[in-house]
Amino acid sequence: MEPQQMETLLSKVSDVIDSKLASLEVKITKQQKQQHEQQMCKIQEVSDKTFVFKRKGNEAQFKFNNTVREKMVQANTHINDGDAESAFHSITEGIELIDNRQKLVKLADSSKNGWRTVQEYTQHELAENEEDEKRIFKAELRAERKMKEERVQKARIQRRARPYPTDPDKPAPERPNKPDGNKKPGTCYKCGYPGHWARDCSGEAQTKS
């Protein structure tokens, strides 16, 4: 083999090796990013579990925001990797989540039972294969029935704690003075003092008179 041919061959081999190394480097970098994102998500999940929400509505909104955020992080990673198709897919999923949330907000606002109807609607979303309008109607009925049951249960607990109804504006009845069994009605005509009769009048009582 001539020196020129040998040089050309070595140059091609070098180009192939460089291309393989570059591809391997990109693959390793991508895997490292994915591992980093997974670790950050796990840390975020642990942090979220340690926080106790006082209101269920706030907890639901927080979880929803986290879900949308994960989609946006995925899209950002795909864009940095030059994967436009995967980035578009993640963004589309995020938009669908927001659209569905907006629908639930409108449902809660238009329902007399508010978010209780939304709760019943979402809990039976996968279990029922019906028209959306029928599912909303059934969710409304379930929410109303459960709220009535809660009111009845609350009233029972209050009755147990206060068995006799009281009127705060009504004064307590006055108790009559208990009569003394030793005292007699009227006034003694000998001494003029009440509480005994003349036949029971003692000399001390007569002295007072």
48-83 tens-digit pLDDT: 667 788 887 888 888 889 889 889 988 988 888 888
Amino acid symbol at 96: E
Tokens of 181: 């069994």
User: Measured between alpha carbons, how far is 113 from 121 in angstroms, rounded to an integer?
Assistant: 12
Which among 98, 23, 36, 91 has a CA at the least distance from the CA of 64? 98
What is the tally of helices (H) and strands (E) in the chain? Answer: 6, 2
Tokens of 16: 């192939």
Which among 165, 168, 153, 119 has a CA at the least distance from the CA of 139? 119
Which among 122, 90, 85 has a CA at the least distance from the CA of 105? 122
pTM of the model: 0.46
Q: Is the pLDDT of residue 91 over 90?
A: yes
CB 193 within 8 A of CB 208: yes
Read off the pLDDT band of 89 (50, 70, 90): very high
Instruction: Find the domain containing 143 and state its range.
Output: 113-163
Question: Which has more pLDDT, 51 or 47?
Answer: 51
Q: Is 150 within a domain?
A: yes
Question: Which has more pLDDT, 94 or 124?
Answer: 94
Neighbours of 97 (CB within 10 A): 16
pLDDT of residue 176: 53
Query: In the chain, how many domains are there?
Result: 1
100-152: per-residue pLDDT in tens? 899 888 888 888 888 888 887 777 655 455 576 677 777 778 878 887 888 78
Q: Is 32 within a domain?
A: no
Q: Is 148 within a domain?
A: yes
Q: Is 146 within a domain?
A: yes
Average pLDDT over residues 25-54: 68
pLDDT of residue 209: 45
User: Measured between alpha carbons, how far is 30 from 74 in angstroms, rounded to an integer?
Assistant: 12
Q: Is 132 within a domain?
A: yes
Q: Is 121 within a domain?
A: yes
CB 194 within 8 A of CB 178: no
Q: Is 82 within a domain?
A: no
pLDDT of residue 88: 93
Q: Is 145 within a domain?
A: yes
Which among 57, 103, 130 has a CA at the least distance from the CA of 95? 103
151-172: per-residue pLDDT in tens? 788 887 877 776 555 555 555 5
What percent of the chain lies above the pLDDT cut of 90? Answer: 9
User: Measured between alpha carbons, how far is 117 from 176 in angstroms, rounded to an integer?
Assistant: 57
Question: Which has more pLDDT, 71 or 198?
Answer: 71
The DSSP-derived string for 60-91 is: HHHHHHHHHHHHHHHHHHHHHTT-HHHHHHHH
